[in-house]
Amino acid sequence: MKKSVIILLVSAICAVAFAQEGPSKAMRDRIQAEKIAYITHELELTPDEAQVFWPVYNQFEKEQRESNKLVRDSQKALQQAIESGKSDSETKPLLDAWVAAKKAQKNFMVEHRAEFVKIIGEAKTAKLFMAEENFRNQQIRKIAGQNSEFDELFRKQKEEAGEMHRRLNQRNDH
């Protein structure tokens, strides 16, 4: 029964994914379907647990995406301020916003742990958090191994970070 529910769920999500427009939307949906199947398998959810768990998890993921977006947006604003040579008084609120967003992002799982524990218990909550980490790492390795552009992008980002570090050091030396 449990396997048939998983197969049905993954099949439905995949069907929706490929019906959507654009390769990036289809890819995101495919990855999401893989993640759902992976988490379901790792947690060994009973049908009753799954019925309560997935709506809470979906809300958790939505809030997590919003938190990640806030971090990216505040980081982008801070980066622009640094590159344009803004003063301390202009940079301070941007730095404060970025630090607050990073702090909220880091506390996100801690704040939601109790919700998951109520539904699936401590052991399965631990499995959930580890499954998310393992799945993310698995996807990163998959992308890196299949995409030669990934290596080039990573190299460019590393160079840009080094260049930014050099500019900051030069500015601090003066």
- pLDDT digits 0-9 by tens, 55-76: 999 999 999 999 999 999 999 9
User: What average pLDDT score do residues 1-8 get?
Assistant: 42
Quick one: pLDDT at residue 95? 94
Distance, first Cα to last Cα, the chain: 69
Residue 128 CB neighbour total at 10 angstroms: 22
16: confidence class by pLDDT, cuts 50, 70, 90: very low
* Count of C-beta atoms within a 10 Å radius of residue 86: 14
Write out pLDDT tens, residues 110-159: 889 999 999 999 999 999 999 999 999 998 888 777 666 656 666 677 77
Residue 122's pLDDT is 95
Q: Which pLDDT belongs to residue 2? A: 47
pLDDT at residue 147, as a whole number: 62
- What mean pLDDT is reported for the chain? 81
Give me the phi and psi of 46, to 5 degrees please.
-75, 160
The SS3 assignment for 85 reads coil
In this predicted structure, the answer to whether residue 15 has a pLDDT above a threshold of 50 is no
Residue 81, Cβ neighbours under 10 Å: how many?
Answer: 18
pLDDT of residue 13: 40
Q: Is the pTM of this model over 0.85?
A: no
| Beta carbons within 8 Å of 14's beta carbon, 6+ residues apart | 29, 30, 33
Supply the DSSP symbol for 174.
-
